[in-house]
Amino acid sequence: LETFAAQAVIAIQNVQLFTEIQEKSRQLEVASQHKSQFLANMSHELRTPLNAIIGYTEMMADGLYGDVSEKAQGVLERVQANGRHLLGLINDVLDLSKIEAGQLVLAMEEYSVADMVATVLSATESLARTKNLKLGSDVPAGLPTGTGDARRLTQVLLNLVGNAIKFTDQGSVEVRARQVDGRFELSVVDTGFGIAPEDQAKIFEEFQQVDNTSTRKKGGTGLGLSISRRIVELHGGRITVESDVGKGSTFKVTVPINASPIEEAAQ
Ligand code: ADP
Which atom of ligand 1 is nearest to 220's Cα? 3
Instruction: Name which residue leads in pLDDT, 173 or 213.
Output: 173
For residue 83, report the distance from its CA to the centre of ligand 1, in Å.
22
Judged by phi (left if over 0) then psi (alpha if -120 to 50, else beta), residue 12 lies in alpha
For residue 6, report the distance from its CA to the centre of ligand 1, in Å.
56
Instruction: Name which residue leads in pLDDT, 58 or 221.
Output: 58
Average of per-residue pLDDT across 237-248: 97
For the CA atoms of 31, 37, 42, 47, the dihedral, rounded to the nearest 10 degrees, stands at 150
With the most atoms of ligand 1 within 8 angstroms of its CB, the residue from 203, 240, 242 to mutate is 203
DSSP sequence for 194-230? ---GGGTTGGGSTT----SHHHHHT---S-HHHHHHH
For residue 180, report the distance from its CA to the centre of ligand 1, in Å.
27
Lowest mean per-residue pLDDT among 178-187, 196-205, 232-241, 248-257? 196-205
pLDDT value, residue 189: 98
pLDDT value, residue 219: 61
Q: Say yes or no to pLDDT of 214 above 80.
A: no
Q: How far apart are CA 149 and CA 232, in angstroms?
A: 10
Closest CA to 132 of 103, 169, 104, 98: 169
Beta-bridge mates of residue 252: 187, 240
pTM of the model: 0.81
Tens of pLDDT, residue by residue over 121-138, are 999 999 999 999 999 999
Tens of pLDDT, residue by residue over 52-110, are 999 999 999 999 999 999 999 999 999 998 998 899 888 888 888 888 878 888 999 99
With the most atoms of ligand 1 within 8 angstroms of its CB, the residue from 169, 172, 173, 209 to mutate is 209
For residue 50, report the distance from its CA to the centre of ligand 1, in Å.
26
| Contact between 161 and 124 (Cβ < 8 Å) | yes
With the most atoms of ligand 1 within 8 angstroms of its CB, the residue from 160, 189, 225, 226 to mutate is 225
- 19 phi, psi to nearest 5 deg: -60, -40
Q: Say yes or no to pLDDT of 267 above 80.
A: no
pLDDT value, residue 266: 39
